[in-house]
Amino acid sequence: MSFFEIVVLPNGDIALKRGNDADEPLIRISFSKEVAGFSEESKIDLAKVMIEAGIDLFDKMGLDILQSVEEEHDSSAMSRLIH
């Protein structure tokens, strides 16, 4: 059984990662400089809600994002507008 943890990365991003894994986080959330005035606790609370909403959506879609799957990201350097 894997345990997951939400961590603050050295660059200030907030991430979801496996508790026993040093690899790349499963989910990473970055905040712009515009929200620099928010407290770290507020950013973590917001990140928790965002992560939970994402997991719920994937669950409704029948996808298990928390299952260990190796994928290559050919377009990882390109940004995509989702909404």
**Whole-structure pTM over 0.85, yes or no?**
no
Predicted local distance difference test score (pLDDT) of residue 2: 65
3-state SS assignment for residue 32: coil
Predicted local distance difference test score (pLDDT) of residue 12:
86
pLDDT of residue 65: 55
* Phi, then psi, of 32 in degrees rounded to 5: -75, 170
Helix, strand, or coil (residue 60): helix
Q: Are 38 and 17 in contact (CB under 8 A)?
A: no
**Domain locations along the chain:** 4-60
- Residue 49's pLDDT is 94
Residues of the chain with pLDDT under 70: 1-2, 63-83
**Helical ranges in 4-73 per DSSP H:** 40-60
Give the pLDDT of residue 76: 45
pLDDT tens by residue, 45-63? 999 999 899 888 878 877 6
* Strands ordered across the beta sheet of 4-8: 4-8, 14-18, 27-29
**pLDDT for the residue 20:** 77
Longest dimension (CA), the chain: 38
